[in-house]
Structure 1
Amino acid sequence: MNHPKQHSSRLIDLTGKRFGRLVVIKKAPSSAKNGNARWLCRCDCGNQIIVDSQSLRRKSTRSCGCLRREINHQRMLNNKVFDKYQGNASSLKDGHGVFYSSIRKTKRNHTGVIGVSYDSHYHRYVARLRFHGKYVLNKTSNNLEEAIQMRLAAEQKYFKRQVQQVHFN
Structure 2
Amino acid sequence: MKEIIITEGMITCYQSHLVREEKSPATIEKYNRDVRAFSSFLSGRAVSKELTVSYKRKLAEDGYAVRSINSILVSINRLLAFLDRPDCVVKTIRTQRQTFLEEEKELTKAEYYRLLRAAKGSPRLCLLLQTICGTGIRVSELQYFNIPSMLNFKSVSHRMILHNTNYVPMARRVPRLLDGREHGTMDKAGIKAVPEKKLCQDLTGKRFGKLLVLEYVRPEKGTGKWKCRCDCGNITYKSTGHLNAGTAVSCGCVKADIDAGRDFKKVLTYRDGTCIEFLKNIDRPTKSTSSDTGVRGVRLLRSGKYNATITFRRHRYSLGTYTKLEDAVSARKQGENMVKEYLEDYNSK
Unaligned runs of 5+ in 1: 86-91, 106-110, 119-124, 127-140
* Alignment CA distance shift 1:117-1:47 (3 Å): farther
Change (3 A) 1:17 1:101: farther
For residues 46 and 152 of structure 1, do their structure 2 counterparts lie closer, same or farther at Cα, with a shift above 3 Å needed? farther
TM-score, reference length from structure 2: 0.29
Larger radius of gyration: 2
Q: Is contact 1:152-1:163 (8 Å) kept?
A: no
**d(CA) in 2 for partners of 1:65 and 1:59?**
13
| TM-score normalised by structure 1 residue count | 0.54
Q: What code does the residue aligned with 1:98 have?
A: T
Match of 2:235 in 1: 48
Deviations 1:65-109 (A, max 9, x none): 110111223344xx8x82x78xxxxxx4222x134465454xxxx
Aligned partner of 1:4: which letter?
A: M
Match of 1:24 among 198, 213, 218: 213
Of 222, 235, 248 in structure 2, the residue corresponding to residue 61 of structure 1 is 248
1:130 is matched with none
* CA spacing shift, 1:71–1:57, aligned 2, 3 Å: same
Deviations 1:138-157 (A, max 9, x none): xxx2x212x52249515169
After superposition, the CA RMSD in angstroms is: 4.3
Which digits, 9 at most, give the CA deviation of each residue in 1:29-64, with x for residues without a partner? Answer: 23996x6x4111111111111111101100011111
Q: Which moves more between the two structures, 5-14 or 62-71?
A: 5-14
Kept in 1, the 8 Å contact 2:310–2:317? The answer is no
Aligned partner of 1:98 in structure 2 is 274
- The equivalent of 2:336 in structure 1 is 164
**C-alpha displacement of 1:160:** 6.2
- Relative distance call for 1:21 and 1:103 in structure 2 (3 A) is farther
Larger helix fraction of residues = 2
**1:4 is matched with which residue?**
150
Instruction: Check conservation: 1:39, 1:51, Cα contact below 8 A.
Output: yes
Aligned equivalents of 1:117 and 1:32: distance in 2? Answer: 46
1:14 is the counterpart of 2:203: yes
Per-residue CA deviations over 1:8-28 (Å, capped at 9, x if unaligned) read 975211111110111111112
Determine what percentage of the aligned residue pairs are the same residue. 23
Q: Which runs of 5+ in 2 are unaligned?
A: 1-146, 156-196, 300-306, 319-333, 341-349
Give the secondary-structure state (helix, strand or coil) at the position aligned to 2:213.
strand
**Residue correspondence of structure 1 range 106-145 to structure 2 within 5 A:** 112-113=285-286, 118=289, 125-126=290-291, 141=292, 143-145=293-295
1:155 to 280, 288, 311: 311
- Distance (Å, rounded) in 2 between the aligned partners of 1:44 and 1:59: 16
The CA distance in 1 between the partners of 2:233 and 2:277, in whole Å, is 34
Quote the Cα distance in structure 1 between the aligned partners of 2:310 and 2:243.
42
